[in-house]
Amino acid sequence: MFGLMDRFLTSDLISLQKDILDHVEYTVARSRFSFDDFEAYQALAHSVRDRLIERWHDTQIHFKRKDPKRIYFLSLEFLMGRSLSNSVINLGIRDQYGDALNELGFEFEVLAEQEGDAALGNGGLARLSACQMDSLATLDYPAWGYGLRYQYGLFRQVILDGYQHEQPDYWLNFGNPWEIERVHVTYPVKFYGTVEDENFNGGKRKVWVPGETVEAVAYDNPIPGYGTRNTITLRLWAAKPSDQMDMESYNTGDYINAVVNRQRAETISSVLYPDDRSYQGKELRLKQQYFFVSASLQDIIRRFKDSHSNFDDFPEKVALQLNDTHPSLAIAEVMRVLVDEEHLDWNKAWDFVCKIFTFTTHTVLPEGLEKVPVDLLESLLPRHLQIIYDINFDYIEELKKRIGLDYDRLSRMSIVEDGAVKSIRMANLAIVCSHTVNGVSRVHSKLLKTRVFKDFYELWPHKFHYKTNGVTQRRWIVVSNPSLSALISKWLGTEAWIRDVDLLAGLQEHAANADLHEEWKTVRKVNKMRLAEYIEAMSGIKVSVNAMFDVQIKRIHEYKRQLLNILGIIHRYDCIKNMEKSDRRKVVPRVCIIGGKAAPGYEVAKKIIKLCHAVAEKVNNDPDVGDLLKLVFIPDYNVSVAELVIPGADLSQHISTAGNEASGTGSMKLLMNGSLLLATEDGSTVEIIEEIGADNMFLFGAKMHEVPALREKGSAFKVPLQFARVVRMVRDGYFGFQDYFESLCDKVEVGNDFYLLGYDFQSYLEAQAAADKTFVDQEKWTRMSILSTAGSGRFSSDRTIEEYAEKTWGIEPCRCPF
């Protein structure tokens, strides 16, 4: 008799080896007697994928049978990084694979290095989506992620002569074993055309007659949970030409154009936009947004209709999460489908929309808020523009009843902006139509309520909430820092913290234990050695592992103030140079590590990168300095580089001008790994202070409530002499490239210094001095480091996702039985 269980692949040594070798032979098509590391990686990945697929099928069958309310997470960006290690750890078969490979003459870690990153996103927002997918799977929620399968992910950063250059990321060139192409899961997505009136049931109705159709093909990426069989789906859409497109061109006899058109269709999913600052009103970007929204909604509605004969239960079964404004065309699309295609009454459709959408915003910068020019929308999606106008009309009428004829306020709150370029404010659309608007930390939420969306908060206070971000401890401790992971499990006497991260607090009671200190220091040292090797391989710079490793890794932005860090390094250098030789013994040696990408069109950020290299060139080659100070720029910072750098960081910097970082999640990863934080009271740092205490960190800088007045004051506050001096050194060409750096220096001159580098410099140096002093006291440092890890529990994405599930989405776990 063939039982259900017989189907499962087994994970004993012999089966795993057989599987790997079979994949070498039949999937990779190499001889099982001769294959290299990359081929071994491919075979290994396919063997893991087989196991993923089993669980994934079972989960999907279970969800279908139970028909729970589902959460659909719509995001234009997912920064997944590598999948191999994460998958085997979540499947619980890491050690078995390690042993199986050893006998075949391979090492798991070496093969894992063969994998390239999936970098389908820019920065914080995109990595957060990836962490949240891991938590959704682990916590058994019936969830789907939807996004775009870009052929080119975030550009590769290449540094030539200290300048950033961008190169395409051909991430699919060597195949991608983690995705499953679903050639039969395709939907037509339509663009352009006109809207016509049609007779219907004795009245009129609008009919969109589109001008172009592109096919969306699904690529499924199974996302395994940890400690559960549940494996959920990240479904990414790729654009393919539709047959209809061919027919139109062939009918006109234009063969060449037919082929060219086919290629044009594919460009929709070809490249990720690399700017995470400003929306530029580009047609291709808008096409991407609608393409993925339309395909996802067709899929979601098809799934709903599979088990429901009418739409009555739609809001009880479907929750749609808008990850920032990027997918907010989904609102108009749901209205269009329900009204125009499913023939629901407008009011009923509107009622559904108000119940199913939730919106999370990830920025405080006004230029991060998308505005779509009406002309563009009208030509690309004429029916959607009408729908948005109709929504806006009803909403403004309601608003007038609530607030009267305050035209200034009405115009500020309108979805349609009547400026020089008439535009749709996507954030306003998302706020009006969502039942919940979430910020990503407590102070972010406060800013939203008091500044960015003040008018809306006053109208609908009940809509505004926050869920402080979190990161997954599976990726950021277990995968990236296995020795720390083992140490934590040993001292806690359990691995349960991997699912229940609050248990990390149990380390507190051992924070002064001398044995733990020794083991903690050993683990940290080994991680630093690994990082030092990487630095030497990448840059040729030899660094001492006895020095303090001081890390700032994140996108390069003026508000994140990498420039403050570099100016601080110049000050340190200047001090060393001007010291008596005998005093140099007292200097605490530092290795300053900076990594991050600048958006290709962001000139200031690119100059900061160049300055970093220019300073490094001088400092690193100065015999007076030696090991006392090194500056390293790590090129092409991405998820897998982060996995290497974070475990080796003694100190990390999160030094944005207060009020600018919505949350920040890098700080959470570093905290979990026992790095001490040197930080301003911005974003989630404020909440980190509450968890681990201000005396376990090095805090400095203007407070959020002081910033507006300080900006007003401009030149009225005194800039410390040391600041003027280091800026002058750059200005005078001490590091070369005098003309090139001039505009950068102008940016921090008195009166111009929007991000308050000058104002914060003094307290920044003091915080740095406090860090130095503590580092000398290794016992104190180690205790603080242990307490950092112990206090990081609240910053797990498991907690964030539970909050979303219970308070915002109204979904419940749906655990697949073993």
Catalytic residues: 362, 554-555, 560, 665, 669
Structure tokens at 43: 């075979």
Task: Establish if 665 lies at the interface with ligand 26V (CB under 6 A).
Answer: yes
**Shorter beta-carbon distance to ligand 26V: residue 532 or 662:** 662
CB under 6 A: which stretch of 13-21, 47-55, 272-280, 642-650 binds ligand 26V? 272-280
- The residue among 682 and 753 lying less far from ligand 26V, judged by its C-beta, is 682
For helices 84-91 and 94-104, give the axis angle rounded to 10 degrees.
Answer: 120
Strand-pairing partners, residue 223, are 232
Piece in contact with ligand 26V (CB under 6 A), picked from 10-18, 58-66, 270-278, 519-527: 270-278
Task: Determine, following the binding rule CB under 6 A, whether residue 368 of this chain makes contact with ligand 26V.
Answer: yes
Minimal distance in Å, beta carbon 666 to ligand 26V?
A: 8
The answer to whether residues 552 and 593 touch, using CB atoms and an 8 Å cutoff, is yes
Rule CB under 6 A: choose which of 370, 417, 558, 798 binds ligand 26V.
Answer: 370
Q: Is 221 in the site for ligand 26V (CB under 6 A)?
A: no
CB 110 within 8 A of CB 782: no
Please tell me whether residue 741 binds ligand 26V under the rule CB under 6 A.
Answer: no
What residues between 319 and 358 interact with ligand 26V by CB under 6 A? 324
Minimum distance from residue 592 beta carbon to ligand 26V (Å): 22
Please say whether the beta carbons of 411 and 418 come within 8 A.
Answer: yes
Interface with ligand 26V, residue 662, by CB under 6 A: yes
Q: Strand order of the sheet with strand 464-466?
A: 180-191, 212-224, 231-241, 143-148, 70-74, 318-323, 357-360, 436-439, 464-466
Residue number, 88 or 668, with CB nearest to ligand 26V = 668
653 lies in the binding site for ligand 26V (CB under 6 A) = no
Q: Is 193 exposed, middle or buried (0-12, 13-18, 19+ CB in 10 A)?
A: middle
* 796 touches ligand 26V (CB under 6 A): no
Q: Kindly state whether residue 124 participates in binding ligand 26V, applying the rule CB under 6 A.
A: yes
Q: In the structure encoding, which two tokens stand for residue 519, read together?
A: 């083991």
Q: Which residues contact 255 (CB under 8 A, 6 or more apart)?
A: 249
Amino acid at 671: L
- In terms of CB distance, is 134 or 661 closer to ligand 26V? 661
When binding is defined by CB under 6 A, the residue of 130, 265, 426, 440 that contacts ligand 26V is 440
Binding piece for ligand 26V, criterion CB under 6 A, among 135-143, 276-284, 534-542, 619-627: 276-284
Q: Look at strands 180-191 and 212-224 and give their pairing.
A: antiparallel
CB of 511: closest distance to ligand 26V in angstroms? 28
Residue 161 C-alpha from the chain's centroid: 29
Residue 596 engages ligand 26V in binding (rule: CB under 6 A): no
Q: Which helix (H) or strand (E) holds 49?
A: helix 37-66
We find the least distance from the C-beta atom of residue 362 to ligand 26V, in angstroms, to be 4
Nearest in space to 794 (alpha carbons), one of 711, 688, 703: 688
The region of 214-222, 363-371, 381-389, 542-550 touching ligand 26V under the rule CB under 6 A is: 363-371
659 binds ligand 26V (CB under 6 A): no
553 touching ligand 26V, by CB under 6 A? no
Window of 62-70, 193-201, 268-276, 725-733 that interacts with ligand 26V by CB under 6 A: 268-276
Residue 357 and residue 753: Cα distance in Å, rounded?
40
Question: Binding ligand 26V by CB under 6 A: which of 122, 186, 289, 800?
Answer: 122
Instruction: Provide the minimum distance between the beta carbon of 158 and ligand 26V in the complex, in angstroms, as a whole number.
Output: 22
Stretch that binds ligand 26V, among 263-271, 362-370, 393-401, 628-636 (CB under 6 A): 362-370
466 versus 741: smaller Cβ distance to ligand 26V: 466
814 lines the binding site for ligand 26V (CB under 6 A): no
Give yes or no for residue 674 binding ligand 26V (CB under 6 A): no
Residues of this chain, 165-194, that bind ligand 26V according to CB under 6 A: none
Least separation in angstroms between residue 135's CB and ligand 26V is 14
- Residue 437 touches ligand 26V, criterion: CB under 6 A: no
803 contacts ligand 26V (rule: CB under 6 A): no
78 contributes a contact to ligand 26V by CB under 6 A = no
CB 412 within 8 A of CB 369: no
Please, which of residues 237-256 interact with ligand 26V by CB under 6 A?
none
**Among residues 222, 470, 596, 664, which is the contact residue for ligand 26V, using CB under 6 A?**
664
CA–CA distance from 755 to each of 279, 557, 559 (Å)? 22, 11, 6
**Considering the rule CB under 6 A, would residue 115 count as an interface residue with ligand 26V?**
no
Q: Which residue lies nearer to ligand 26V by CB, 382 or 596?
A: 596
CB atoms within 10 A of CB 722: 17
Rounded distance between C-alpha atoms, residue 256 and residue 248, angstroms = 12
Contact flag: residue 276 with ligand 26V (CB under 6 A): yes
* Torsion sign across C-alpha atoms 429, 435, 438, 443: positive
Please report how the helices 37-66 and 84-91 are oriented relative to each other, as an axis angle in degrees rounded to 10: 50
Q: Smallest distance from the beta carbon of 698 to ligand 26V, in angstroms?
A: 20
Q: What single string gives the DSSP state of each residue in 261-305? A: HHHHHHGGGTB----SS-----HHHHHHHHHHHHHHHHHHHHHHH
Contacts of 212 (CB under 8 A, 6+ apart): 190, 191, 192, 193, 245
Residues 6+ apart with CB under 8 A from 21: 32, 43, 104
Pick between residue 230 and residue 269 the one whose CB is nearest to ligand 26V.
269
From candidates 49, 70, 362, 630, binder to ligand 26V by CB under 6 A = 362
154 vs 639: CA distance, rounded Å: 11
**What's the CA dihedral at 319, 322, 327, 329 to 10 degrees?**
60
How many residues of this chain interact with ligand 26V, rule: CB under 6 A? 23
Contacts with ligand 26V, 469-498, as mask; x by CB under 6 A: x-----------------------------
In this chain, which stretch among 197-205, 508-516, 656-664, 718-726 interacts with ligand 26V, using CB under 6 A?
A: 656-664
Which of 336/554 has CB closer to ligand 26V? 554
Q: Which stretch binds ligand 26V (CB under 6 A): 393-401, 589-597, 655-663, 727-735?
A: 655-663
Which residue in 144, 777, 721 sits closest to 517, CA to CA?
Answer: 777
Q: Which of 113, 246, 266, 275 binds ligand 26V (CB under 6 A)?
A: 275
Q: According to CB under 6 A, which one of 663, 796, 797, 800 is a site residue for ligand 26V?
A: 663
What lies within 8 Å, CB to CB, of 690 at 6+ separation is none
Whether 659 contacts 446, CB under 8 Å: no
- Closest-by-Cβ residue to ligand 26V is 124
474 Cβ partners below 8 Å, 6+ apart? Answer: 86, 89, 90, 134, 138, 226, 498
Q: Is residue 56 a contact residue for ligand 26V (CB under 6 A)? A: no
Beta strands 318-323 and 180-191, pairing class: unpaired
**How far does Cα 118 stand from its chain's mean position?**
12
- DSSP letter, residue 471: B
**Residues at the interface with ligand 26V (CB under 6 A):** 122-125, 128, 273, 275-276, 278-279, 324, 362-363, 368, 370, 440, 469, 661-665, 683
